[in-house]
Amino acid sequence: MTTPLLKVENLRIALAGDGVTYDAVENVSFEIGRGEAFGLVGESGCGKSITALSVMGLLRRPLSLAGGRVILDGKEIQNVSAAEMRRLRGKRIAMIFQEPMTALNPLSPVGRQIAEMFVLHQGANWNEAMDRAEDALRQVRVPSPERRIKDYPHQLSGGMRQRVMIAIALACGPDLLVADEPTTALDVTVQAEIIDLMAELCAAKGTAVLMISHDLGLVANMCQRVAVMYAGRIVESQVADAIFAAPTHPYTQGLIDSLPRLGERARRGRQKLREISGVVPSIANYPAGCRFNPRCPAVTEVCRSVVPEATPLPAEGVVRCHHHG
Amino acid sequence: MAESLLSLDGLAVHFKVGNALAGGIKTLKAVDGVTLDVKPGECLGLVGESGCGKSTLALAIMGLLPPTRGTIGIDGHQISGSTPPDRMKMARTVQMVFQDPYASLNPRQTVRRTLADPLRLHGITDKAEVETRVIDMMAKVGLRPEQADRYPHEFSGGQRQRIGIARALILKPKLVLCDEPVSALDVSIRAQIINLLLELKDDMGLAYIMISHDLGVVEHVSDRVAVMYLGRIVEQGGWQEIFENPRHPYTRALIAAIPDPFHRAAISADAKARGEIASALNPPPGCHFNPRCPLRADICTAEYPAFGEVSPGHRAACHFRDRVS
């Protein structure tokens, strides 16, 4: 078996609050193979974005890495120096954020922001780098790139800005692209285009993707494998197609059943949507045992006291539920 | 045929934008000739991307923006540019539920005050009656009586949206405009609110205009659907017609853009739209959708298509509406 490109092992992220420390992320483990697209799905506050930030070495106070390992291509990177991490970021691992307007520098033309990648990481001179920036814009299908390289971010639409972000992220041909809700701020038809573009470019360059989203459907379409997070833990991870066909964790089942599905009403008439009762717990009040237990339809005594172990699934993947099998 | 509760006739809302000294004043046609009606007890789904004018349309119906042209008829009242609405009277007929339950409630008012104020403003001053109606309304939206003296910050997002719904319904309106009522909520909470809205609709005989970009939600709740693009309705029809036999390429693109793994390949990839929504300040000549349209022909850049009938009740503004998909 070849070594995975990225291996995250028992990741623990601490959140420092008023004199108390909470575990914002606990025992999160996953692997991403070379060229593979892996999705991390969950609701706001479940810890998916900070998991991505920890891979990038971008956790800042009050968040800190409290345990676990992040291994890129066989090398532990969770404790490397700031200077070395800077060299890795952009070159080996790159990131796209949700809101391109706040992620781009508003005072710098977009061509320059792309060209900077070639200058910093590949030692190119600025003239050469600007030519390559134009090519990069062409690759992400920005129309008339020769004019657009001189534009500032505010002169571009949301979709165009996200294309610029993708151009910057993929400029140096990274091994891993971390995409945190890359299309949430965009309109649905634009979202579809951006996802297609990302998938196509990453496949062409052999770039692996860690995709973070709250949209299970989006992730399942783009990724080969998916992990579902709830309240700081991975509750289930599976092959993308399998997660819809046979979700095993009650939370995953609830999520899939609770959303109105296109075409369902025509097939079966309007059914009342299955609700997940209760609310997402806040980090200060995570319940003992399985954190989904107060909302779970299958809850029993053991769920309230014992944290479920990760149980391997018959095909591929794991589930953390006492009542599986 | 039932009398319409709401009828819009050629409604247009234009804004003057820009500066006479720098670049000149332009007209932004946010809503440009919309004709539609809503019958009592009916749910009309209104779909479109950001900037298409759906929120401007909602504000005009609420009487918060004066029409530039055309008229709005609500339950016997007529609003036009020259006859401003009587907001007090209208409040008893039309109410609105907003997208963001964090921003749309007054943080300094308890639930009781939020619900009682509209009653008092409308002349219900008997303390016992106010109290009964507040507590009844709270029960209807699933809040407990002892929660009446709490402030918005003490509630979760889903509960806040319940308060927002209670406030909209306390005056027993006939029409409720729901502007993206679940898109700010956690995914696992959405089903609760959608079920609640449908229950209340049957219970109180309400008509809804459901504004949403989530086609799954729109299909689930709507009786009829209208699709907006750059200020105009481009397709309108019964929910089943719109979702199973969409005739406008934009409607087809919207449906194709949904990342629904259960619905994959139902509509082919060539239905996808290219590029992005044009600026309403400078819409393309002819059909507004033509730069993005897979079916574009010469006629599409020359003239705006008629809003022609496909079948009774189903209309589409496309030169090729009769070309079956």
Range ranked top by mean pLDDT from A27-41, A174-188, A215-229, B65-79: A27-41
Domain layout of chain B by residue ranges: 94-172
The answer to whether the CB of B239 falls within 8 A of the CB of B224 is yes
Distance, CA of A143 to CA of A183 (rounded, Å): 20
Cα B211 to chain centroid distance, Å, stands at 3
Q: Using an 8 Å CB-CB cutoff, list chain B residues near A159.
A: 276
Residues contacting residue A86 through CB under 8 Å, at least 6 positions apart: none
Check CB contact of B266 with chain A, cutoff 8 Å: yes
- Which among A191, A262, A274 has the least Cβ separation from residue B219? A262
pLDDT tens digits for range B247-280: 999 999 998 888 766 655 445 556 778 877 788 8
**Smallest Cα distance from B254 to chain A, Å:** 6
Predicted local distance difference test score (pLDDT) of residue B24: 83
Tokens of A228: 């579902």
Residue numbers of A between 128 and 187 with CB closer than 8 Å to B = 157-160, 187
Q: What is the DSSP letter of B284?
A: P
Query: Complex ipTM, two decimals?
Result: 0.82
CA of residue A26 relative to chain centroid, distance: 17
What sign results for the dihedral spanned by CA atoms B51, B55, B56, B57? positive
What mean pLDDT comes out for the span B177-190?
Answer: 90
Arithmetic mean of pLDDT, B33-37: 94
Going across the sheet that includes A21-32, the strands are A21-32, A6-16, A63-72, A75-76
Q: Are the C-beta atoms of B28 and B17 separated by less than 8 Å?
A: yes
Does B256 contact chain A (CB < 8 Å)?
Answer: yes
Residues of A in contact with B102 (CB under 8 A): none
Contact B220 A264 (CB under 8 A): yes
Q: Is A266 on the interface with B (CB under 8 A)?
A: yes
Interface of A with B in 185-244 (CB under 8 A): 187-193, 195-196, 214-215, 217-218, 220-222, 240-241, 244
Model pTM score: 0.89
Q: What domains are there in chain A, each with its CATH number? A: 6-92+174-319 (3.40.50.300), 93-173 (no CATH)
- Contact flag A215-B256 (C-beta cutoff 8 Å): no
Nearest to A221 among B156, B194, B261 (CB): B261
A273 and B220 in contact by Cβ < 8 A? Answer: yes
What does the pLDDT look like over B125-178, one tens digit per residue?
A: 999 999 999 999 999 999 999 999 999 999 989 999 999 999 999 999 999 999
Nearest-CA distance from B125 to chain A in Å? 36
The two three-digit tokens of residue B169, written as one number: 């319904």
From B174's Cα to the closest Cα of chain A, the distance in A is 23
Inter-chain CB proximity B243 and A270 less than 8 Å: no
User: In A, which residues are within 8 Å of B238 by CB distance?
Assistant: none
